[in-house]
Structure 1
């Protein structure tokens, strides 16, 4: 194992541990304090520290682990992405986490069905289906992060899904593993036959439970009534009244079982249409009653989503872009509906909008944003709706957590339900709480902040939840969990909602499929009436940069160190824990030593996580701050910043030396020798690979002319001033020469700023923690660019997107107009060039900086104009090269690009906008990656009218 098991906790049986060591490679077993705490966190407000975390890569491993768990009586919990909100994905025993080997799909019948493994991210499934005009039914807010395993296991739904399109109702087939390790694939006739033979008593007992349930008229009626509403409280008892075939009962029981009945190895969905035409409107009514009376009317109209936002919700986002100024002046009782309608054709959409408008003619309206088909407008409206939850999270007091609850009222009682919830907020002094939700289903989310450090606050929370439970479940006969799953959060209230008979039936199912109670104990069903008040997650202050983190995990899919060391969420969790231990007087030296590599050294710090974070946290900012506190070579940094041209000369000399060593030793020997030296020097000696660039042999900078052509100031980045192409690259023209040739082809006069060899955006300094030196170099570059551009009269072109981002961030001087390659090509070159697209397919990598600059879609559009086939590798967001991490911490780059080669194997060339990123992409993709300008230059010629 990686480290001795933590002390102070009951150890796992020795036989179990030794067998796991035999079954699972060491690199995928974790029991050290840092890893177990990092994985002991999901998006809920509970924390359990597993004794062992196992990353599984195959079904055979899951089968073996389940059989072993049964033999040794060891509880296990399954985890996909960990975005669950009710405590389903944490464990104090063994946590089984999905690795990379669970991403297969099979698209069938032109997209009408899709079979998915549980590791597929929901949004990726929809991306595969989009060209076919289809999508999966469930559309949870976390779809860009959550995985199919969690979507099915929680029966997640969402804004447009309702009940008709959730996993339960769009299920076409399933492959599952039961607690005893047996496998059933309902789409495989031989598997079904074998299972019927081996598990005949189990299937007969399920059939008997279903017959008895349907025979109990009162119970069957109650079950059907409960699932008329959105409902994920308890197990899916509707399987017993909707189906009589035992296999269908079994698979539908698995939906929403939260890992308490078995492991879902694959699922086949009947997909639903993804209509291309849509429009959205925001209608504000004068009060809750009027707003809620409109909902049943809208339910009869051709609407796809109707989202309710109470006055508190609107107030929480009233300063967001896209909301009109009148929102601040709305009455205190105002309540809004965000409405969306979709259609296969624009004509049909317009007819639907006419119907919807007419249906609302009789209602008093305080204000409105009328239906818009403009993607920018309706995108802003939906961004506002999605921003309500993080808006509360972002302003909560440090040390508290943000809780989102999820209930359903009968639609006809929605207004009374909203008002009664508002009364409970006032009673228990949750003054910041807001209400929003999926009005068509009577499904309301309410968000509030809660501290758990003080017993008084815990008691307030318990009193509030007791009141909520009785209000929703008893008085209104609603659902305590509509779509977030029961988890630990509502396990003590399942009997209150369902009654003794239905509750007893759930326990029968649990004991039938998990007789030893080892699958995710205390989730969904628990014999502990206070389980919802135990293992509450602390949220101690760590640093103002990250204190607003709600630990949702939305950042994780884009992090290049995910699967190698820690994700942004886990970095924050660990730093919070270290700071709390420090304040308590504990010795944190061992944890901090471990964190130095896993938390700091292997962070790319590119800030891509901030684009996914609901509260905008850039974990890279924390890492840079931590690096700055340990940056001990200030004199060297000062010297380098003052003698930058000399430093670049030194870099060229090193490349000359490496190139000579390659010629003498050969690629293989030099690569092995370099790898050893890099590890031994802890990254101080850069790793050499065949993609390593050659030194730039000459840098000729022509003086500006006066020939009347439009001018562009060209800031060649330090990397393009020091390096040329790799020796093995078929393209041997340096980037500077290629860029200059393209700009001149388009009719521009290229001007270089004075003292170019001394200029730098400052990124190499700030990334190492030398913030002062980085800011000094940035300002020096900006001053030179302002002068060269004649006070901002000429546009500035920077050939590397990370440098551009660094220059334009917080740029106070509005005279300077600095472009990255994508923006300059988009706005200045395309109209001056004729393009004949090439037939050879190309791969495109959208760098982190390009995404920050908002130019990702434009890069892809330009690439598609230049090549008939464009490949964007799935699942690769940040390449992990991070300036020089590819040299000093090559395992980060390798981890981020571990799937690249297979994805681009049919391409001859890759395109990007960062020279350093291209080095790592070339190495791990097996093809040469170049700047976008190489492709554009190759397929373009001057346009006569444009040149004039």
Structure 2
């Protein structure tokens, strides 16, 4: 471990080869960037971000010179401690998120920082996907998927990274690159590394000549197995280039760096069906698994009785779980086919394979995507059920093992008994039964020696059960990591383990690449460097730092992600309790004020993908509220109490900005504003800054006799009109026109300019003031129109007011009202245009993303929702106060839109400002699109 002074010196060495903004040595970011999904904690001495292979070569050269070990990190979803280090952590940047596809060979060439789910999204229109399908595929990146040989629910053994590898590009510890798909590169490598290749060839020959070892390797890899290195390469291949390439799969960054992974893609069938079949006992379920091995099934997931209990209230559960016996179990079965007729035939075969007399609910497949999705939600809900109920201060441990399928029933029963014997009575068992792969989940604390000893004894017992009794795999798909490194020889024996050590010595003789992972001489390493999980806030205490939230976060890569915010908050809480005078505490807190708080959009999209629905945005807002008081609170109260004046002042400011732009020119104003923002922290004006929207008497359509609709325009749309150069009519006027065409009369609340839903105050950390404004609005709306539809023009306002509605009124989002009530009553003629839409965070959280797409698709020939854009990062006024957040969140927007796309639409005026500025296109309310495409029916 280096001292703090050495940490700074190490950072200076990397600043010589990388931009300073990609080298992190401060306590906050070393901690935050160093966390992963495992239950281990090692804090790197320096974090460096690599964007291209040249960076990797420079990093490796520096590490060799300084004798500093290095660990490569992709998404950090690893569960076994293989992505943490107390030395140099090299995090892969977006430059490595490359994608290419060769239609002739059906090979996808993927960069290591490309998310697996994104690779599949791009392959889907071609009817293809990558073979590995880990549960973390929406977050996990190709580098980690390959480096851990991850598999998943439908992947099995035959479609994992090892078996679908078409080639790769790698960089060895000595800084030499090899592209196995490039004959020139291969030829050069054969010359430069003849000794290495000869060593691999000799080892392969020795293993093949040892009939016992060779046979054991072949037998072991018929199961899912990620314990140790992929030494099946030694018996599967003769050419040492092929051996080397396949040894890299599952090597967990200990043998080299993967610059690119080439996958032979597999079919992605659209026709699929699922069934959750419940059995009276575990033995019957496991016998069905054995029978299904030869059936046309894509996945067979086992859930034990405890798993079923944990999700018994989930919608779609086909049986009454409370009525089941203690030995009940279920299989979630999925079948896929190239067409519907083939699928029907497959389902008949599957049904005939299962002994119906052993089931409690028959075999009833559904091909309805919604119903099938519910069944899979039941399966996916098992892990959160344990995680959400664990005691504060504990973590959730997910282990995975594999048994021979023929012995699965006995093995599962033994595993259940083992968990109970060691006091893990809340544990559940589920898994990919078709491969004999079981996951068991339990809560574990590490705050006392007693708890650590309990865990140590349990792991010893697991090793004896899996290896000693069943000769199974101690790690089936989660990688060896630190957690199972001490048990590699237990599973493989001395000869095979010695071969693994020779491989490591050949490829990394200085032991610089992720040392201590996969192979480790310390028999207690799995009990060291355990991650503290102190209770911090009920809002986030259930977080296990899995990282599933990160792809949704607009600030990830700029400052911190939700996982990193929670990690840092926990550590600062620990320091305040255990070492309040720690010098790094004040430094961390100061850095957190910006990285953790100021640049958090508070959009809460993290909760939509979190298995436990943790809302880090709400957590950050509570931290803001804890610091807001005194003068700030008084000012906020005054603004809220005189809201009409606040709106007038906002309009006056916008008018002044518009005047300055017309007099001085937009470029000059932008330059001056940017300089003032940098020097004084003043708000930075947007290039798409709107003009003031003054209340006026716009011509109203004839609405006599039409049904009334109470319409609430947000304070943003009341104050902010179109951008300069945009001659669009005021939004209220457009709403009145569109509603009248559909047979509705627009009614505005009385005293409109004093009303606000409170969202601006809530996001700033004034929850009491925000609540008071929301209740004021609720009272006004209740008295105005309790019996008529109430439509909010802005999605965030509609979402917020849902919590204050009750029986008094039902707030409806404009997008939902347009789809369900307005569009069916209009004649819509799609415009011959390509348009963009932005689904706001509120629409996503409300489940209305498809509603916006539906409305837009009815009004334009082609609709694009840029896949790389989640929250726009404007976040109320952060587009002005922290414009770097908006810049970062929309950095890929422009490149995602084709040249013929000139218009964009959304349902939040502030979001539209940022979208317009970063795309160079006009963004307006979706109402404008409906207006342009509609006529009375």
Aligned residue among 488, 512, 517 for 1:518: 512
Residues 204-242 of structure 1, C-alpha deviations (whole Å, 9 max, x = no match): 221222122111111110010011000000000111111
Corresponding residue for residue 37 of structure 2: 43
Aligned-partner Cα distance in 2 for 1:903–1:875: 8
Distance in 1 (alpha carbons) for counterparts of 2:808 and 2:324: 39
Partner of 2:815: 822
Aligned to 2:913: 919
The residue aligned with 1:300 is: 294
For residues 68-83 of structure 1, the aligned pairs below 5 Å read 68-83=62-77
Pick the aligned partner of 1:322 from 309, 316, 325: 316
Aligned to 2:56: 62
Distance 1:389 1:209 in 2: 42
Deviation string 1:729-762 (CA, Å, 9 cap, x unpaired) is 3x43222222222222222211111111111111
1:916 is displaced (CA, Å) by 0.3
CA offsets per residue over residues 634-689 of structure 1, 9 Å max, x none? 2222222221111101100011111122123222221122123233443xx32112
Unmatched 5+ stretches in structure 1: 1-5, 944-948
2 CA distance for matches of 1:557 and 1:864?
Answer: 26
Residue 621 of structure 1 deviates from its aligned partner by 0.9
> Which residues in structure 2 correspond to 1:605-616 (within 5 Å)?
605-616=602-613
Q: Is the partner of 1:841 in helix, strand or coil?
A: strand
Note the alpha carbon deviations across 1:27-74, whole angstroms, 9 max, x for none.
Answer: 110011101111221000001000000011111010111122122211
Give the deviation of 1:200 after TM superposition: 1.8
Match of 2:704 in 1: 707
Q: Distance in 2 between matches of 1:111 and 1:856?
A: 36
SS at match of 1:693: coil
Contact 1:560 1:892 in 2 (8 A): yes
Task: Give, in whole Å, the separation in 2 of the partners of 1:339 and 1:504.
Answer: 40
Instruction: Say whether the 8 Å CA contact 1:751–1:788 is kept in structure 2.
Output: no
User: d(CA) in 2 for partners of 1:395 and 1:481?
Assistant: 26
Structure 2 equivalent of residue 896 of structure 1: 889
CA positional deviation for 1:12: 5.8
SS of residue in 1 equivalent to 2:443: strand
- Pair 705,838 (structure 1): closer, same or farther in 2 beyond 3 Å: closer
CA distance in 1, matches of 2:355, 2:587: 67
Aligned to 2:116: 122
Matched, 1:692 2:686: no
Separation (CA, whole Å) in 2 of partners of 1:520 and 1:495: 19
1:628 matched to which residue of 2? 625
Partners in 1 of 2:932 and 2:75 — Cα distance? 43
In structure 2, the partner of 1:289 is 283
Name the SS for the 1:175 alignment partner.
strand
1:702 to partner: Cα distance: 8.7
Q: Partners of 2:757 and 2:122 in 1: how far apart?
A: 39
The TM-score, its normalising length taken from structure 2, stands at 0.97
Distance 2:838 2:132 in 1: 29
Between 499-508 and 419-428, the greater mean CA deviation after superposition: 419-428
TM (norm. structure 1) is: 0.96
Counterpart in 1 of 2:828? 835
Where do 1:543-942 residues align within 5 Å?
A: 543-587=537-581, 588-632=585-629, 633-682=632-681, 685-700=682-697, 707-729=704-726, 731-789=727-785, 791=786, 793-808=787-802, 810-814=803-807, 816-906=809-899, 907-942=901-936
CA RMSD of aligned residues (A): 1.8
- Greater CA drift, 509-518 or 825-834: 825-834
Match of 1:347 in 2: 341
Bigger Cα displacement from structure 2, 158-167 vs 931-940: 931-940
Partner residue of 2:82? 88
Partners of 2:700 and 2:736 within 8 A in 1 = no
* Alpha-carbon distance change, 25 to 107 in structure 1, aligned in 2, over 3 angstroms: same
1:333 maps onto 2:327 in alignment: yes
- The 5-angstrom pairing of residues 141-290 of structure 1 reads 141-290=135-284
Instruction: Measure, in 2, the Cα distance between the counterparts of 1:812 and 1:704.
Output: 30
Note the alpha carbon deviations across 1:600-633, whole angstroms, 9 max, x for none: 1110001100001111110111111111111122
What do the CA deviations read for 1:877-911 (whole angstroms, capped 9, x no partner)?
Answer: 11110011001111111111111122225221122
- Partner SS for 1:522: coil
In structure 1, distance between residues paired with 2:732 and 2:256: 58
Residue 450 in structure 1 maps to residue 440 in structure 2 = no
Any conservation in 2 of the 1:138–1:157 contact (CA below 8 Å)? yes
Contact 1:704 1:751 in 2 (8 A): no
Equivalent in the alignment of 1:99: 93
Residue 591 of structure 1: SS of its match in structure 2? helix
1:750 aligned counterpart, secondary structure: strand
CA separation of 1:811/1:379 partners in 2, compared to 1, >3 Å: closer, same or farther?
farther
Cα distance per residue 1:397-432 (max 9 Å; x no partner): 000010000000000010111011111112111111
CA contact (8 A) 1:155 1:232 kept: yes
Structure 2: segments with no counterpart, 5+ residues: none
How many residue pairs align between the two structures?
A: 931
What is the alpha-carbon distance in structure 2 between the residues aligned to residue 247 and residue 911 of structure 1? Answer: 52
Q: CA deviation at 1:788?
A: 2.8
Q: Distance in 1 between the 2:427 and 2:105 partners?
A: 42
Change in CA separation of 1:368 and 1:227 when aligned onto 2, cut-off 3 Å: same
Shift of 1:375: 1.4
Q: Distance in 2 between matches of 1:110 and 1:383?
A: 37
**Equivalent pair of 2:701/2:737 in contact (CA under 8 Å):** no
Cα offset for 1:865? Answer: 2.7
Listed one character per residue, the Cα deviations across residues 891-945 of structure 1 (whole Å, up to 9, x for unaligned) are 11111111112222522112211110110111111212111122222222222xx
